[in-house]
């Protein structure tokens, strides 16, 4: 058992994953702040015009899918590094799936 733990601690891939997880944990915090601002802007738009702002609506959807992409990585449900270390492709795939339903 102790030998297995020592082997896991010596794997470069383990430490690389932990490093990227720390980076994306910070990015999640920043994305959450931006999403809160989007929520406030949409509330203001609804109060002033009676409709949500379509530009902000689209941006909010894409940012939400990006957050989902990061959460999949942080919870070990995906080995793929999210944007900016890879393409934005998972978010686009999710958007196409959501728009079909």
Mean pLDDT, rounded, for 94-99: 62
Task: Give the model confidence (pLDDT) of 11-53 as tens digits.
Answer: 788 899 999 999 999 999 999 999 999 999 999 999 999 999 9
Give SS3 for 88.
coil
Question: Residue 74's pLDDT band (boundaries 50, 70, 90)?
Answer: very high
Domain chopping of the chain, boundaries: 2-100
Question: Residue 101's pLDDT band (boundaries 50, 70, 90)?
Answer: low
What pTM was computed for the model? Answer: 0.76
- Angle (CA) 43-47-52 rounded to 5° is 55
């Amino acid at each position: 058992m102790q030998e297995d733990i020592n082997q896991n601690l010596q794997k470069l891939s383990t430490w690389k994953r932990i490093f990227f997880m720390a980076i994306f944990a910070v990015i999640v915090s920043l994305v959450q702040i931006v999403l809160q601002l989007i929520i406030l802007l949409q509330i203001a738009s609804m109060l002033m015009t009676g409709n949500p702002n379509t530009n902000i609506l689209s941006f909010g959807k894409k940012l939400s899918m990006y957050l989902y992409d990061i959460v999949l990585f942080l919870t070990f449900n995906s080995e793929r590094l999210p944007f900016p270390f890879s393409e934005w492709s998972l978010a686009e795939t999710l958007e196409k799936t959501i728009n079909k339903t």
